[in-house]
Amino acid sequence: MNDIRNRVRSNVPAVVLTLLGIIQALALEQLWTHVLHSDVLYALNWQTLTTWTQIFTTLIAIILVWLVYAVNVTRFRWLPTVYEFILPFWVGFIQLLVIQALATTAIGFWFMLMGVLFGTMIWIAQTTLRKARLDGGNASFFATIPPATWSDFLPTLTIIGLILTFGLYAAIFKTGDLTNLSMLLIMLLFACLHFKALTDGWQRSLSPNDNPTPPDANCPSF
């Protein structure tokens, strides 16, 4: 039984990253197709700037999805459940819906989908870290790091709630291009901060004993 458990732990990176790589390639292909066939992208107006910002934010989100999975499966070993091999399909489905909603006429739906995507990835990352903490092979990393608490997630959850609320409002009431663009810039800043947190967490994890700052507290979502 222990041999099977060890085999499963060893195969998690190959299985998850191979599956996710295929899904992310499909998402990028769909995004590129949208760029090539959307006439609104080549006019000079606020709607064009808003749509290009949507596209760039979507690209950053696709990269973040890959990084969240990659930095965890390459750093830690844990015993996964069957559902963890299904979740990449759900994440991919959300990403494809996000790309299909890349239009100012459906921007409220797009915001709500992005909020769901961010929330899903935070949940996946945190559940992975909790399982990794239980595996003795990761003890050297987690020994001096206290588990994250709900208060650590409040800033992130607040931003996600804001994104979802704005998406619902924009879906019911018509919002102007400048309003949409302002919210897009907030979301883009949110995504960039998470990107920086991922890179900082990766550097800390390479030498955890040299840095007493708990990464779970500074970057609870990843």
Mean pLDDT of the chain: 83
Please give the pLDDT value at position 212. Answer: 42
Q: What gap in Å lies between CA 190 and CA 159, rounded to an integer?
A: 8
Between 177-206 and 107-134, two packed helices, what is the crossing angle to 10 degrees? Answer: 10
**What are the tens digits of pLDDT across the range 37-89?**
887 777 778 788 888 899 999 999 999 999 999 888 888 888 888 888 889 99
* pLDDT tier at 220, thresholds 50, 70, 90: very low
pLDDT > 50? residue 2:
yes
pLDDT tens, position by position, 154-210: 888 999 999 999 999 998 888 888 888 899 999 989 888 888 888 887 887 776 454
Task: Break the chain into its structural domains and give their ranges.
Answer: 2-218
- For 41, residues 6+ apart whose C-beta sits below 8 A from its C-beta are 35, 48, 51, 52, 55
Task: Name the nearest CA neighbour of 121 among 82, 67, 74, 173.
Answer: 67
Question: Number of H helices and number of E strands within the chain?
Answer: 8, 0
Is the predicted pLDDT of residue 118 greater than 80, yes or no? yes
- CB neighbourhood size of 24 (10 A): 20
CA distance 111 to 190: 13
Residue 104 has a pLDDT of 62
Q: Is the dihedral of CA 189, 63, 194, 183 positive or negative?
A: positive
Instruction: Give the pLDDT of residue 221.
Output: 42
The three-class DSSP label of residue 149 is coil
User: Quick one: pLDDT at residue 161?
Assistant: 93
